[in-house]
Amino acid sequence: LLGPALGFARKWYIIGNLTTTTEPMFYYLQNNDTSVEVPTNEAISSYQVSQLKERYEYYGLRIAQSLGYTFEFDAINIEPFVQAYIGQGLNRTSIHYHWDTQINSEHLEYDSTINENITHQGFSAGVQFIGLNGYMSFLKVSKNTLTFKKRRTKSYESSGGTSSYAESKESLNDHLDKISVTLGLGYIF
């Protein structure tokens, strides 16, 4: 999953160069995958026998609290930090599958949409590089725990001239652990 995140932070000095930072952030991540199969016969090689499209979207809001220490140098400040955060997100997955050999009894089409409410929390460790001109960048590694709370699924299937529709709602308590690496750029006012 790739995508942008937009956050604003406020840093407070506790004692000397020891700092704490509060950061609300909005993020949007997505991934699109499409695979197509065509016949090997050159006369009909432009005909799509099967197609699978998958789109994953994940967006939400989180708030983070960091603790860091600033090492001051002539042209740059370096600040290692640790961070804890919690947030709420939504996941939307769309899947479309199409199989067609131009024989009605072999035609299959499937569409599914899955919406999930997700609570996430995690811990990060990283380092910020702060230029004296205000520009900054950071690198951090995070361990994320995603907890899937509610799932709503809608599915449509058409096969051999018949079609069906299904819808379901589930309450979940599934946990998924992920490791992520973030590279960020910013400006300090």
- pLDDT tens-digit readout, 21-33: 999 999 898 988 8
Q: Could you give the 3-state DSSP secondary structure of residue 132?
A: coil
- % the chain with pLDDT above 90: 52
121 φψ region: left (φ > 0), alpha (ψ -120 to 50), beta (else): beta
What tens digit of pLDDT does each residue of 115-154 get? 999 998 999 999 999 998 889 999 999 999 989 889 999 9
Q: Given this model, what pLDDT does residue 24 score?
A: 96
